[in-house]
Chains A and B, each alone.
Chain A
Amino acid sequence: MTLKLSYQLMNADEVRGTLDRLADQIVTANSGRQVVLLGIQRRGVPMAQRMAEHIGAKSGHQPPIGLLDINLYRDDLTKVATQPVVRRTEIPPDIDDKDVILVDDVLYTGRTIGAALRALIDFGRTRTIQLAVFVDRGHREIPVEANFIGKKIATKDNEVVEVRLEEIDGEDAIFVMEKT
C-alpha cells in the first residue's frame, strides 16, 4: 500500500490559526471553570500544549495539560497487525470535578476516543469530558461527537488524513492522502 497526495487541507498559517480559534472556543464555552487539556498521544500532545500556551498568553492563566496513551485500552489489541508502541501517560494529579478537554488530531471511527473515555474514567470523576479535534472526517463506528472541531470534511474510506505538526513532523500542515 502506498499513499498518494489528494490535496492539501491546511497550510502552516491555517493550522496555527485553527488551533488558536479552537483554544478561544474552549475558553468561551468553559468560562469560570477549571479546564484541563488532555492530549492523546501522539499529535494531540503538541496540540494541547500549543492551545494551553495560547490561552495562557491571552488570559494570564495557563491551564494544566496532560498526556494520554490509549493503547492499553484498545479493544482491538489482539487483532491489530503490528504491536503498538505504548507511550507515556501523565494525568494531572487531581482531575476530579475539573472540566477535561480531550485533544486529538483526527476524529474518524470514534474508537480512539472510546478508548480514551475508558482510560479517563479510571483516573477519577471529572465534571465534564469534552472533545476537541483538528479534523472531523466522518465514518463513525460508535456514537462519539466532538464539541470543538477545526474543520469538518467529507472523505472516502480509502483516504487518510495526515496532520503534520512542527514538534513531531518538522512542519505544520494537513494533507488528505489516498491509499492506492
Chain B
Amino acid sequence: MKRKDLLGIQELERNEILEILDTAETLQEISSRPIKKVPTLRGKTVINLFFEASTRTRTSFEIAGKRLSADVINITASSSSVSKGETLIDTAKTLDAMAADCVVIRHNSSGAPHTIARMTRARVVNGGDGAHEHPTQALLDALTIRQRKGRLDGLKVAIVGDIAHSRVARSNAHLLTKFESHVWLCSAPTLMPVGGEDLVACNKEFLHRTHSMEEALNGADVIMMLRVQFERMDESFFPSIREYFRYYGLTTERVARAKPDAIIMHPGPLNRGVEIATDVADGPYSVILDQVAAGVAVRMAILFLMLGGQSS
C-alpha cells in the first residue's frame, strides 16, 4: 500500500481497493485453519484507540492483528487518560512515542483520524469518524458483494435508513459508484443529508436519492439496511418507531420487489423491528454474518499491506 494511512474511501483509486480485496480473499483461508495464526507481523504493535462504543470493528481488528501475530492493544476512551482531560493530539503523540506501528482510531468527530495521522509516524486506519467515513466497513461490504455477485460493477444497490448520520452509507456510496454501480440512497426526508456536499465528489451519474423505499428496492441486486442511530439524534427525526418501521422497515413483502437473487446486508448492530424485521434478518437472503467474516479478512489485508514489507 503506497499511502501511509487509510482514512477514507473517497481518495482511494480503484486499483488500491482491488489490491485490498484480492489480498483479503487469499488471507480468508487462514481463518479456516486448525491453527488460525501466521507469524507475518511478529513484533509489530497495533493500537485500537476507540473513543466510541464498538463491538465488531474493534474485535475484528483485534482478531485480524492476532491472526497475523501482531501485538494488539485496546484503548477505550473511558479507561484512558482521555477521561482525565488529555487532548486527542497528546494521546496520539504518547502512543507514537511508545513506537506503535499502527493506530486504528474511532472517534465521534469527523476528521479526528486525519488529525492524528498528521501527528504520528504510526500508520493510521480510520475505524469510523463521526458521520464522515468508515472505510473498512465499505471494503468488507465490497468483498461480500463481490463474493456473492461475482462483481462490483453494474449493480443496483439500495442503501436504506438513517443516511444523515451514516458514515457507512458515505463510504459505500464512494466505493460502489467508483465501480459504476448505481447506488440508491433512501430515507425519510428528515434523515437525508440536507446539502449532501460531501457526497458530491461521488460519481454523480451513479448516485440517486429517493424517499420511496419501493423505488429504491425495485430490481435491486443488493439491499443494504442502516441502523437508526438513536445515539446521534438529539431531537426527534420521526414520530414513532412503529411509523418508521411501517415506511422504512425491511419486510418480506418489500424484499420481493428486489431481484430474486438479491442479498440483504446490514453493518450491525441490528435494531430488530426498527429498520429490519427479524424473519428477514435471519432469512435466506441475509448475508449479515458473511459480512462479519469478511471484516476479519479485510482488516487482515489492510494490516498486512500496511505493516508487512515496504512498499516500493
Contacts and interface: CB of A to CB of B under 8 A. Distances in A.
Given A72-B39, A122-B35, A78 B309 contact: yes
A90 interface: yes
A83 B29 contact: no
Contacts of B34: 123-124
A72 B312 contact: no
Q: Is the interface of B mostly helix, strand, loop or mixed?
A: loop
A13 to B, nearest CB: 35
Contact of B311 (A72, A83, A87): A83
Interface residues of B, number: 21
Contact of A87 (B26, B35, B305, B308): B26
B27 to A, nearest CB: 7
B40 interface: yes
Contacts of A50: none
A81 interface: yes
A79 B310 CA distance: 7
A83 B38 contact: no
Contacts of A8: none
Given A86-B23, A88-B29, A73 B310 contact: no
A88 B312 contact: no
Interface residues of A, number: 21
Q: Is the interface of A mostly helix, strand, loop or mixed?
A: loop
Contact of A86 (B27, B33, B37, B310): B27
B33 A122 contact: yes
B50 interface: no
A86 B26 contact: yes
A80 B38 contact: no
A73 B39 contact: yes
A77 interface: yes
Contacts of B308: 72, 77-78, 83
B304 interface: yes
Interface string A73-95: 10001111111101111100000
A61 interface: no
Contacts of A104: none
Contacts of A82: 309, 311-312
B312 A123 contact: no
Contacts of A81: 310, 312
A33 interface: no
A84 B309 contact: yes
Interface string B298-312: 000000110011111
Interface in A122-176: 122-124
Given A72-B40, A73-B39, A90 B33 contact: no
B3 to A, nearest CB: 13
B26 A88 contact: yes
Contacts of B39: 72-73, 118
A77 B40 CA distance: 8
A69 interface: yes
B309 A77 contact: yes
A75 to B, nearest CB: 9
19 contacts: A69-B26, A72-B68, A72-B304, A77-B308, A78-B308, A81-B310, A82-B311, A83-B311, A86-B27, A86-B304, A87-B26, A89-B29, A90-B29, A122-B35, A122-B37, A122-B38, A123-B34, A123-B35, A124-B34
Interface of B: 1, 23, 26-27, 29-30, 33-35, 37-40, 68, 304-305, 308-312
In the A-B complex, the 3 residue pairs with the closest CB atoms: A72-B38, A83-B309, A72-B40
